[in-house]
Structure 1
Amino acid sequence: MNILMTGGSGFLGSAFIKHSNEHTFTILTRNPERSRIQFPQAIHCISSLDSLDNLDEFDAIINLAGEPIIDKRWTDKQKAIIAKSRLSITSQLVTLITKSANPPSVMLSGSAIGIYGNGGDEALTEHPDIKNTSFSTQLCTQWEAAANQASSYTRVVNLRTGIVLSNRQGALAKMLLPFKLNLGGRLGNGEQYMAWIHYQDYLNALEFLLRNQDVSGPVNMVAPTPEKNKEFTQTLASTLNRIALFPVPEFVLKLLLGESSCLLLDSQRVVPSKLRESGFEFRYSTLSDALSNLLNSAED
């Protein structure tokens, strides 16, 4: 496939490009020269979607662009930056799709399990009513709505992504040092569910969704076995042959992170109903298998 990708220089986008030998890529990037150096294979880089009149030349779109959501406190200004970075590019892509005589056959567009808000112990499939009013819920709802404007022209899949595990980037990579120093511990009371996925399963799921024409709409990009934070903590410590005796109280997280602390404290027992029903097979279905693979062997 000839794929147009936004967010191609980020963690997941770059991993998909580097692990794919079957596709050609055009990536939207603010720094085309750096991106050409970043990738071993030949790719085409553009710095603006304004350079395109339509998307007739592309078979698929993967839309992952967006300002990181957890790196900074959620001030009103930062919330606006986070929202604009997702909604503006997505709306531009939809406009280009509507201008295409032969539009791409599929658009995989980013979202996150933050759309569910705090779900407690409820198992969250792709079909519950979204009632939460948090910023993350509103953001993901707007992001999906923007992408779905293209559903009359192409198959749209909303990638409701959980915690993607990698020992090089993302949440797990940030946790490794304190845990290796025996300074890790649960967050809050540890009762909140964490929905995770091994990065390799995420990449395989992207490939699966590109090709499976029967899947559309929201798809939970998570492993089948979400774990409570306290269990995640103990499994990580055990895999590293360490102890985890230093919990971080809820009030400390709220003091340090403000409103965005909900990303660490909300319980999201999200399950991948659509992926499993459509025949996708996970290589790493349990947390212990995923962590053992990531921490006891070098990533590709």
Structure 2
Amino acid sequence: MKIAIAGGTGFIGKQLSHYFLNEGHDVFILTRNKKTSSNKNLHYVEWLSDSATPADALEGVDAVINLAGKSINTRWTESNKKEIIESRLSATRAIYSFINKLNKKPAVFINASAIGIYGTSLVNTFTEESQQIGTDFLADTVKAWEKEAEKVADLHVRTIFARFGLVLGKDRALPKMITPYKFFAGGRLGSGQQWVSWIHIEDVARLIEYLIQTPDITGPVNVTAPNPVKMDEFGETISHILHRPNWIPAPSIAIKTLLGEMSILILEGQKVVPEKALNHDFQFSYPTLEKALYHLLQPSN
């Protein structure tokens, strides 16, 4: 297959590129800067510039994946919030534009999204059929992003909203979460009762490929493992695997003072189940947190 990825140099994008290349697919990375590759199956395609004509290079592409947008892991000042939203909307509009110009449209468009669309809850369980939509900044961002991506479906392209949970890998969030434990200072974050809906990075790549290859899947898809846990269990599992204590709490007020509005990512959560993936018999390699963290945290891996 020929697979185009916007945001292909980020944490998830790199994993997808590596995975698809290993599977023998041709990967086209959309980039602002012209690049060349020594790998005959890896291609860089310039976009988001006045001179760029990505449609010329992407004729015949089978799937387009959009991961582009400013990271949400930054303090949510008003200017940053504006950039977080606009970066996602502008990239999605650009993808619509070049897909519209293709003589042969891709079979599928997968647009990144987030489980934050559901809002936060200690008691509810959310599936793709859940009607509850949150009212906080993250939920509003995701809602606007999915609405923009819906326009690609009007081009008769199967469109999927990949609602990511917390993606666990050897980069980004997990290393930051385990650092206190390495210094014997790990402990409860906030109340500890907030839900963490997570997924191993390798299962992300496998599930995205599965979505591409399963033509009857469309619309929202929760990209999470089937067994979400509460933050207390998350910390206890890290403690057990690393053989470090889980005893110094980080109170909510301290986290809110440090992170401001962005603290919602740590202090609140949602229990999300990947019902579509399970109903379509997708097999997770890492269905439990212990198995996922053991694989990621053991020194030999």
Bin for the TM-score computed over the shorter chain: over 0.9
1:113-128 aligned at under 5 Å gives the runs 113-128=115-130
SS of 1:45 mapped into structure 2? strand
CA distance in 1, matches of 2:245, 2:33: 42
Cα distance change of structure 1 residues 88 and 156 upon mapping to structure 2, 3 Å threshold: same
TM-score normalised according to structure 2 size: 0.93
What count of residue pairs does the alignment treat as equivalent? 294
Q: What stretches of structure 1 of length at least 5 have no aligned partner?
A: none
**Aligned-partner residue type, residue 154 of structure 1:** V
Picking from 280, 283, 287, the partner of 1:281 is 283
CA distance in 1, matches of 2:149, 2:252: 35
CA distance in 2, matches of 1:145, 1:111: 11
Cα distance change of structure 1 residues 297 and 138 upon mapping to structure 2, 3 Å threshold: same
CA distance in 1, matches of 2:200, 2:110: 19
The residue number in structure 1 matching 2:46 is: 47
CA contact (8 A) 1:97 1:103 kept: yes
Deviation at 1:36, TM superposition (A): 4.1
Picking from 289, 292, 295, the partner of 2:294 is 292
SS of 2:3 mapped into structure 1? strand
The residue number in structure 1 matching 2:257 is: 255
The residue number in structure 2 matching 1:149 is: 151
Q: What stretches of structure 2 of length at least 5 have no aligned partner?
A: none
CA contact (8 A) 1:117 1:266 kept: no
CA distance in 2, matches of 1:203, 1:91: 24
Deviation at 1:29, TM superposition (A): 2.0
The residue number in structure 1 matching 2:197 is: 195
Picking from 163, 177, 180, the partner of 1:178 is 180
CA distance in 2, matches of 1:105, 1:232: 38
CA distance in 1, matches of 2:101, 2:294: 48
TM-score normalised according to structure 1 size: 0.93
Deviation at 1:32, TM superposition (A): 4.1
Deviation at 1:129, TM superposition (A): 1.6
CA distance in 2, matches of 1:30, 1:179: 39
Q: Identity of paired residues, percent?
A: 39
**Alpha carbon RMSD of aligned pairs, Å?**
1.7
CA contact (8 A) 1:4 1:26 kept: yes
